[in-house]
Amino acid sequence: MSSIHSASLFVQDGSDGPGDRPLRWFLGVPFRGQTYVNLLYLALAFPLGTVYFVAVVTGLSLGVGLSITLVGIPILFGTLLAVLALAALEAVLATHLVGVETPLPAALRSDNHRSLLRAEDGYADALAALVTAPTTWTSFVVVLARFVYGIFALTLLVTIVAVVTAMLAAPLVYAEPHVAYTVGQYQVETLPAALVVAALGVVGAFVSLHVANIAAAVGAILNAVLLGAFDDRSVDTDD
């Protein structure tokens, strides 16, 4: 089974973990470069997931619909290859952005002599290995799940930005005559109350960055499990 060598939710860039110096770990999150790389990973999830979903659904629909004319067969095969390429892209993003080592689908691994990239025993054998490799089919899950994960990531980022920005802006807008600044059922009408809201916004910003780090790690780990947990037992890579 392929291992996930660096799937850590907490310790990044060599920083202390929460069990070593919890306050330093908590307050250090905006000063770690990995935090912003994780935010990039989350920001890419929705546009990539949308493209993946449209491409795969279109390919499958055309392929199945035209299969009775034999034209659909190469379309389905092309869709399968596209899914493998997109899953490989997800593996690269998880490995190099989030730091969760994720293997490519078996059919694209250079160390597999039955992969499509090498095909040392002929393309017929490589195609048979392609069809029987578990990661060929879990790649579909990786690609389609990216759309759902992208919606989650977009919602998370928009919520974080909107809530934290609104709280930090409390001292600037609470006294505006045309603004009724409320927190739940409580209306903020004084500067001390607005400063308290802004202070809570600062704390919320730190918490939100930690939540974003965890969300990025969970998404990357899910891809790693889907692409590496089975280790393609049907594909012999030792001969």
pTM: 0.84
Nearest to 237 by CA among 102, 106, 127, 125: 106
**Where in the chain are the domains?**
22-228
pLDDT digits (tens, 9 = 90+) for 134-161: 888 999 999 999 999 999 999 999 999 9
End-to-end CA separation in angstroms for the chain: 18
Nearest to 24 by CA among 218, 206, 216, 215: 206
pLDDT digits (tens, 9 = 90+) for 101-111: 999 988 887 76
